[in-house]
Amino acid sequence: MKNVLIPTDFSIRSLGYVHNVVSQYPDELVNVIFMHALRMPDSIFDLVTFTRNSRHIELITADFKDGCEIIRNKYASSIHQLKVEFFHGDTGVAFKNFCLANNIDVIVEPSDLEYNAPSKRSYNPGKLIKKAKLPKLAATLPGSRKVVVKATISSLLLTSE
Amino acid sequence: MKIRHKILLAFAGLTISTIVIMGGLVYFFANQHSFEDFYKRLEIRAYLAAKATLPYYESDADIYNEIREEHLEKLPAEKEYFLKVDSTGHVQMHTDLNLPPSFYQTVLTQHLATHRQGNRFYEGVLYKSKQGLYVVIVSAINQYSEDYMAWLQRILLICFLISSVILIGVGAFFSRLTLQPIRHIMNQVKSISSRNLHLRLNMDNSGDELNELAGTFNNMLDRLETAFETQNNFVSNASHELSTPLTAIIGEAELALSKDRSPETYKKAMESILTEAGRLEHITKSLLHLAQTGFDGMKPQWQAVRTDELLFTVKDTIDKLIPGSQVNIDYSLFPEEEEKLTVKGNEQLLELALSNIVMNACKYSNNKPVSIALAATDKKVIIIVKDQGIGIPQQDIPYIFSPFFRASNTGEFKGYGIGLPLAMNIIRMHKGDIIVQSQVNTGTEIRVELPL
């Protein structure tokens, strides 16, 4: 069983890296952990009223949830679990601790993710991933093709035309 | 009861009851305090009187009397009593006094006691003089505080009346003010009827709740107007669609009958009449379908439908119906488990709906590749039909599910505008939804969602 971390901005496109992961480990059960990186709040009030997850859950769109379910149904036999975790912080040590806490084995390093921050505190954790010492899996989105409208479930499709 | 009156009542009730409670408390505490004050005064008088009447030295009496006369004014109905206490601790009663024995008892034990008889106040002190123990009692009528309390009562009452009047007035004003926008909206809505559905409610930029209400109303009016227009257009469109082939049939027949012709010409005429009649039949059939599916009361047979099989059937049908079409089934999101593919529904109807959508995709893209993908979440099955056709203009998207509506860029394609409304009716029957996303000249993506 492998625990694989995939950075996400809650766009449907970022779900597409699961295809890579599954094809990389064809004979193994995989736990996929989608990580959304958020900066720590910098005002005292926000720190006092800081909660780990509840306030950020609304960042997860209904389409993203649908997409997760579709992926899980598609790879029902190879994906054991698929969950979303929020990573608060922007230092290498914090990231290392996060990986330790979640028992991460491999980090997916997306090479062609156009990161669109869904909230003010979100940021692209690409640099942190590059510095991390865990094994990495370079991934490109399968089938780069014209997408009629971005951010719909159809951007999960594989066939290239 | 109107809300305006309720608000007024609640507001006035709340504020006036607060004022009443406050006034009551003021009166109660002032009353209590005036007693204490009066008892204190009586106490001083009692001691002074005792010292003046029963002095240790004769010369002191004069001084005390002088002080009393010069500095203490006589209280109304002031009376003094000196009651000797004999050696057994018994108080000599005075005939004028009608005080309870407990009063004397308190004086003897605590050296001080008060008593009240209606308006008359008694203060007794125990005084030890050369002649022996005395109970000195001073009594007077508390005229000042009597007047004072009456005055206070009057002021409180007047204040209460004035403030009540003001509060009720202000309350009426405020309840009018708060409900003003609602009355405004009501008046505006009243003026909108089926004849002037284009009218909308005024909205400002304050973003308050009532503005949102107005916005909601406007939204509803938009939908109503569209529905009205569709309804109005439906009959004219339907009769137009039906009359076009009819005119062609009549014209062809009249032309053929106008004079004797060769059998070939008759044959040709009959053939064109046949195609037009076929078209007519197709339209009436579609209309019938539309009417049947739009009618909720009719329940077709429901069974478990495998959506993947549905997709294959649709592909076969389209391949037969439109030669040269390129329909591809996209397997990349197929779920692994079969039970995620089965929906409850009527297979014929679903096939009709889906083939209408796919047929449109083929038709409006001039047989460019069309992909049908199937995906399943935990609660619904999603079918995505994608083409690379002419697309649908953004302003037309809200209307594409109204019967006989045809998007503005469909001029060169034949069609009646029945297919998509029919599909929508069928999907709605299955409690599903159709979501359309499109870009002109790039393609259209139609997502059909069916609940598991």
How does residue B19 score in pLDDT terms, banded at 50, 70 and 90? very high
Question: Is B432 part of a structural domain of the chain?
Answer: yes
What whole-number distance in Å separates Cα of residue B179 and Cα of residue B136? Answer: 70
Cβ pair B439:A146 closer than 8 A: no
What would the two tokens of residue B74 be? 């006589």
Residue B349 contacts residue B293 (beta carbons within 8 Å): yes
Beta bridge partners of B437: B445
A146 pLDDT above the threshold of 50 = no
What average pLDDT does the segment B267-290 reach?
Answer: 85
B44 and B93 belong to one structural domain: yes
Is the alpha carbon torsion for B334, B337, B342, B343 positive or negative?
negative
Chain B residues with beta carbon closer than 8 angstroms to that of A146: 442
Question: Is B231 part of a structural domain of the chain?
Answer: yes
A147 pLDDT above the threshold of 50 = no
pTM, 2 dp? 0.58
B265 and B229 belong to one structural domain: yes
A151 pLDDT above the threshold of 60 = no
Q: DSSP H helical segments within B98-208, as ranges?
A: 101-110, 143-190
B18 pLDDT above the threshold of 90 = yes
Chain B residues with beta carbon closer than 8 angstroms to that of A77: 336
Residue B389 contacts residue B365 (beta carbons within 8 Å): yes
- Work out the mean pLDDT of chain B and round it to a whole number: 85
Identify which has the larger pLDDT, B307 or B417: B307
Q: What is the pLDDT of residues A86-96, one digit of tens each?
A: 888 888 899 99
Q: Which helix (H) or strand (E) holds B245?
A: helix B209-257
> Of B36-50, B281-295, B339-353, which gets the smallest average pLDDT?
B281-295
Residue A105 contacts residue A76 (beta carbons within 8 Å): no
B159 pLDDT above the threshold of 70 = yes
CA B209 to centroid of chain Cα atoms: 9
How does residue A57 score in pLDDT terms, banded at 50, 70 and 90? confident
Q: What is the pLDDT of residues A90-134, one digit of tens each?
A: 888 999 999 999 999 999 988 877 788 888 888 888 888 888 888
According to the model, what pLDDT value does residue A161 have? 39
Chain B residues with beta carbon closer than 8 angstroms to that of A74: 332-336, 375
B447 and B381 belong to one structural domain: yes
What average pLDDT does the segment B327-336 reach?
Answer: 84
Backbone angles phi, psi at A159, to 5 degrees: -60, 135
Report yes or no: B373 at the A interface, CB cutoff 8 Å.
yes
What would the two tokens of residue B376 be? 């399943």
What average pLDDT does the segment A26-48 reach?
Answer: 87
B110 and B93 belong to one structural domain: yes
According to the model, what pLDDT value does residue A44 have? 86
Residue B263 DSSP symbol: H
What whole-number distance in Å separates Cα of residue B245 and Cα of residue B291? Answer: 21
B218 and B269 belong to one structural domain: yes
What would the two tokens of residue B328 be? 């591809």
Chain A residue closest in CA terms to B378 = A69
How does residue B22 score in pLDDT terms, banded at 50, 70 and 90? very high
B110 and B19 belong to one structural domain: yes
Q: What is the pLDDT of residues B185-205, one digit of tens each?
A: 888 888 888 788 788 888 777
B227 and B338 belong to one structural domain: no
Question: Is B128 part of a structural domain of the chain?
Answer: yes
What would the two tokens of residue B389 be? 């056709």
Pick from A13-17, B149-153, B319-323 the range whose average pLDDT is largest: B149-153
According to the model, what pLDDT value does residue A49 have? 80
> Of A124-128, B41-45, B293-297, B333-337, which gets the smallest average pLDDT?
B293-297
B309 and B441 belong to one structural domain: yes
Report the number of distinct structural domains present in chain B.
Answer: 3
Question: Is B189 part of a structural domain of the chain?
Answer: no
What whole-number distance in Å separates Cα of residue B420 and Cα of residue B411? Answer: 17
B361 pLDDT above the threshold of 50 = yes
> How many angstroms away from the CA of B438 is the closest CA of chain A?
7
B247 pLDDT above the threshold of 80 = yes
B279 and B418 belong to one structural domain: no
Domain boundary, last residue among B245, B269, B294: B294
Residue B246 contacts residue B280 (beta carbons within 8 Å): yes
Domains of chain A in sequence order: 2-156 (3.40.50.620)
Question: Is the ipTM, as predicted for this complex, more than 0.90?
Answer: no
B413 and B362 belong to one structural domain: yes
Question: Is B35 part of a structural domain of the chain?
Answer: yes
Cβ pair A73:B335 closer than 8 A: yes
A47 pLDDT above the threshold of 60 = yes
Residue B301 DSSP symbol: -
Chain B residue closest in CA terms to A156 = B333
Q: Which is nearest to B446 in space by CA: B355, B377, B367?
A: B355
Residue A40 contacts residue A141 (beta carbons within 8 Å): no
Identify which has the larger pLDDT, A5 or B205: A5
Q: Which domain holds residue B213?
A: 209-294
What whole-number distance in Å separates Cα of residue B198 and Cα of residue B216? Answer: 15
Question: Is B280 part of a structural domain of the chain?
Answer: yes
Provide the residue type at B279 as one letter: R
Angle at B183 between CA B177 and CA B184, to 5 degrees: 95
A149 pLDDT above the threshold of 50 = no
B345 and B233 belong to one structural domain: no
